[in-house]
């Protein structure tokens, strides 16, 4: 379990990254709606694991290259916004939970439509 200080730092980094990701000019990164799902910083503030969820992602490989290329700029922006002893290196992980949830919702809606259509023909 992370300490309260690390939890606050995680929340601050998540807030700053969510804001700065909208400003990245690389078209490989601006493929869809990007959400910062979670941030997990190591105790020595050297590494930070960032889980990103992108809805409407067209090319995952290009997105990974773009976000890796923008990581230095993002690190500098986080360092300027927060006064930390060390600004951590970011490790980006893609999380497809938004797309997965949307897919499940579509499947459930199709099932409900199918049941409504079958129920009307039985009467």
Among candidates 83, 3, 17, 97, which has minimal Cα distance to 49? 17
Q: What percent of the chain shows pLDDT beyond 90?
A: 50
Backbone angles phi, psi at 10, to 5 degrees: -60, -45
What is the reported pTM?
Answer: 0.75
- Please tell me the distance from the alpha carbon of residue 48 to that of residue 42, in angstroms, as a whole number: 6
Average pLDDT, the chain: 87
- What domains does the chain contain, in order, with CATH numbers? 4-97 (3.30.300.20)
Directed axis angle between helix 60-81 and helix 4-21, to 10°?
A: 120
Which residue's entry shows tokens 């049941």? 115
- Please tell me the distance from the alpha carbon of residue 39 to that of residue 78, in angstroms, as a whole number: 13
Q: What confidence tens digit (pLDDT) does each residue in 37-67 have? A: 999 999 898 999 999 988 778 888 899 999 9
């Amino acid at each position: 379990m992370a300490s309260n200080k690390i939890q606050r730092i995680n929340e601050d980094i998540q807030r700053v990254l969510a804001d700065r990701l909208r400003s990245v000019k690389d078209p490989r990164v601006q493929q869809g709606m990007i959400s910062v799902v979670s941030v997990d910083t190591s105790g020595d503030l050297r590494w930070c694991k960032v889980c990103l969820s992108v809805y409407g992602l067209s090319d995952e490989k290009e997105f990974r290259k773009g976000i890796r290329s923008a990581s230095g700029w993002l690190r500098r922006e986080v360092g300027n916004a927060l006064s930390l002893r060390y600004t951590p290196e970011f490790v980006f992980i893609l999380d497809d939970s938004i797309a997965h949830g949307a897919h499940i919702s579509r499947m459930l809606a199709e099932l409900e439509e199918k049941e409504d259509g079958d129920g009307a023909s039985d009467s």
